[in-house]
A and B are shown apart, each in its own frame.
Chain A
């Protein structure tokens, strides 16, 4: 691995490390790097694969997303490289992660099966062999799961099944009320009636009963799906995506088929219908939302099917009734505190109530039913933000007489306008708090923009700081050149005459990518400039070139931190001009150039252009342009020094 590659791969790795949450920008960045440096493909593939293997289960999916994104955007050779280990990687991960992630992995897999148009291929994304293996694996995994599920069902008895049929009939009747001319529903009722008769004859074997039970269950699931869908449509509001609690078991087929439900993954790939998809992954019994007109007694019955416990249920109802009575009597004598209408508790209750209606299916996997509801502190945040907004929106600081400077105003214990309104200006009036440094931003467009600049800035800086620590760790290793790259030190203070003209916007301006970086370049360039003037009297041409460059850089960056004290600092440094300084030199690839590489005229090595995020330009690193020719800065310097010595 040559140096450039090493740097890129290191970069890539460190960004990959940061992927501890599902972050689109990070994935995009990684994809971009992978796309731009196809020569390093093998290393990237290794990096992503080892990331998937090594990171904690929760984060594996994100690494898979990177893999997916890279393959979709770039295609070959990544697809070929990844195909090799894809199956084992997928299998390992699938077995480690929780059910929610599994569902997401399956969705991901389904997308792989569809031909990728962006790379123009008509074949699936990866090699067929690998995809087939995964599919087989998924089929096995889900049927295994199904077996577990079946064994959990109670042994079917005729009365039990009869009860289920009754319930189904009730549900279907209910639906028929809404859609009186639905043919399917009418046939369904018919079938159910026939089935009931058959059962009552009582001549069926246990095997057959089991079959019937499974079928019923399936129909159930489907009905619930429909009802749920309907209640969701009724609400029209923000309906949280129900947590998919289990990997897809059986595919729900139409009601009157009698096929045994074998999972058919390929059928899923074709389906774009969201309902259908939902049915696929939610084919397990889902309690019916209690508000859908079907009364909660039905809901209670359903739970009885899964595990009959009518007696305890009855007890519970009794208890609840008694509690309600107690509550009523307490309320009557005024002993119950009812939270005011606009309190956070009321809001929370209201929201979680709604949430219960929408997302009861979560109960299946045992997680708390208000999973989708933000925590109380978060809601408190929202409420306080609102309050602050209203309190501070119409205050004019200029029209506030109590802010006049005098003793009594300043030491006023109870300055209402400050206490109730103004103080919010320091905090929640700007509700968006930077999660890294705590700086606050408002909601206006301008504030939003500066917030996004601010976040970008954090990201860039963090990347650079990471670079520092990563390299400083390798001190003493072979990579001494890159070690020194990011070492930083305190600057000299500005001369008084510079300070009085200095403007701090040069430091805090987030838009112009990085003054400091430019300053650094400027320094080293100037440094070399002095040096070449001292050393190579013959190279006039080169000298003017260089000083042009220095001038250019000077005019680019108004931060003239160096201009007056710099010559002095440079001359003192000049003797020990380090290789590192040279390597920081760069030439921006001219827009007119087609070729992104050039050959150093001294060492004949070809140099690839690299995209510099801070500058927003393609650059050749460690490069100088002298008299129209490009050299490695290090080569050039070395040669010039030797020439000089020879003279």
Chain B
């Protein structure tokens, strides 16, 4: 029998076990840059040593699953781990490199920790930088480190509407980081749910900006921050731990504050406004010496501007983060946004949430929209905070993410624009014939009798 051709002998090269578990050893302070192929799944299990992802340490001998994400795993000490991914052929295909910036992150963290120890009014630090320079990763790492040694609760403020962190995208938010971040989540973790979750949930406050680019309506954006800052300041006054722990602030890419075409003089005025609003004391600029001259020029300009309002020693030029994905493109960012929306309604595989689809008649619904400014508009003629009423039509509303406010349905535009956000809904169907609209709600119940604001984000299930 054993000599029958084709039956017994399987050429090893042809036979590739997709479920094979690979073992990988990482030397101290190297990092594994992981680009998980789209719609694939990577499983990691740490066998020994200390490994962390964006500052969150992984438990040993526990399986972690990552999907649709670009991450860097840092070996704090020598690490032996097992990984499994059907779409990565083996250890040879991995990018493993020396981590060059973690030592600076440690310096930065302990410098912040010193300020936390020294004063009951903790440091407020803002991270700025270009697209893909590692802003979010640095914020996440600093937040994670801050809670590790002492029971601090730093307030993380996300001012980049393109990223959904604890929230769907399109909004600005502030979230006290009171416990471990979910290492497997692009969104850092969950906001509160009604049931039991594997880790402690976080409680964000949300301001709806609703547009994709800050430049689409900068006055409105700054107005949102102003509102957020008021709440943040009040919270800090009430909450001793958060106040002592300080704030870590993430920002949109610098390019959105630098306006080439129109008025160069105003460049970065937006950033300065934010710094004043939130009373920020430290700015970290992510920039590399190897950047192009033109880029450096811009950074220098920013530096000069910042000097006018904060202490020069508190403006730090920090190298762009090691292990960042320089060429992460729009498609990838879209997929992260989609994931954030999906997670808001449906949760994660570990915490499955059940949203609720509710129907409402057209006349039971009032929908507003933030104004998009364009260059041709006479700036002084219009009020940029004014909300526009949106006609209830399928082509406008279908699949749209909407913010539901606390303001009454019949409230005026002005009231609505100032109202807190109750949550988000997703318009799944607009039936013009039957004049009926279906909205996916996170919480079971009727469509709230509240004013609704349309955002620029769409989600197709």
Contact = CB atoms under 8 A, between A and B. Distances in A.
Interface in A427-444: 427-430, 433-440
B322 to A, nearest CB: 13
Contact of A516 (B113, B196, B442): B196
Contact of B316 (A411, A428, A495, A508): A411
Identify the interface centre among B56, B153, B195: most chain A CB within 10 Å of its CB: B195
Interface in A322-358: none
B200 A507 contact: yes
B117 A573 contact: no
B106 A489 contact: no
22 contacts: A377-B48, A398-B114, A411-B316, A418-B106, A425-B148, A426-B109, A427-B50, A427-B57, A429-B149, A440-B57, A487-B354, A488-B194, A489-B354, A489-B444, A490-B191, A491-B192, A496-B420, A519-B194, A565-B422, A569-B443, A572-B449, A575-B446
B328 to A, nearest CB: 25
A618 interface: no
Contact of B353 (A409, A490, A500, A508): A490
Counting from the closest, the 6 A-B pairs by CB-CB distance are: A488-B195, A504-B178, A490-B442, A438-B59, A377-B48, A572-B446
Contacts of B336: none
A499 B103 contact: no
Interface string B300-317: 000000000000011111
A405 B282 contact: yes
Contact of A405 (B111, B176, B201, B205): B111
B195 A516 contact: yes
Interface residues of A, number: 72
B317 A439 contact: no
B195 A464 contact: yes
B317 A411 contact: yes
Contacts of B54: none
Given A384-B77, A495-B420, A507-B201, 16 more contacts: A406-B316, A410-B316, A418-B103, A426-B106, A427-B57, A427-B76, A435-B60, A437-B59, A489-B354, A492-B423, A493-B422, A500-B235, A504-B202, A504-B241, A565-B422, A573-B444
A561 interface: yes
Interface string B190-222: 111111111111111110000000000000000
Interface of A: 377, 380-381, 384, 397-398, 400, 403-407, 409-413, 415, 418-419, 422-423, 425-430, 433-440, 461, 464-465, 468, 472, 486-497, 499-505, 507-508, 516, 519-520, 561, 565, 568-569, 572-573, 575
Contact of A493 (B347, B423, B444, B445): B423
Interface string B101-138: 00110111111011101100000000000000000000
A501 B445 CA distance: 27
Identify the interface centre among A381, A411, A493: most chain B CB within 10 Å of its CB: A493
Given A435-B61, A439-B180, A565-B406, A493 B205 contact: yes
B114 A411 contact: no
B27 to A, nearest CB: 14
Nearest to B235: A500
B319 A411 contact: yes
A409 B107 contact: yes
B345 interface: yes
B203 A494 contact: yes
Given A403-B111, A427-B76, A489-B194, A437 B178 contact: no
A493 B403 CA distance: 11
Nearest to A523: B194
Interface in B152-200: 153, 176, 178-180, 183, 190-200
Contacts of B353: 488-490
A573 B441 CA distance: 13
B204 A468 contact: no
A493 B314 contact: no
A489 B425 CA distance: 13
B461 interface: no
Given A380-B48, A426-B149, A493 B111 contact: no
Given A405-B316, A490-B353, A438 B56 contact: yes
A494 B194 CA distance: 13
Contacts of B347: 488, 490
Contacts of A569: 443, 445, 448
A489 B356 contact: yes
B96 interface: no
A435 B198 contact: no
A436 B314 CA distance: 39
Contact of B345 (A397, A404, A419, A490): A490
B344 interface: yes
Contacts of B231: 496, 499-500
Contacts of A439: 180
Given A487-B195, A507-B178, A492 B111 contact: no
Contact of B58 (A380, A423, A438, A507): A438
A340 B325 CA distance: 42
Contact of A419 (B103, B204, B206): B103
Contacts of B204: 493
Interface string B231-253: 10011001101100000000000
A465 B198 contact: yes
Contact of A500 (B111, B238, B314, B422): B238
B44 interface: no
A561 B317 contact: no
Given A397-B117, A491-B191, A422 B206 contact: no
Contacts of A501: 238
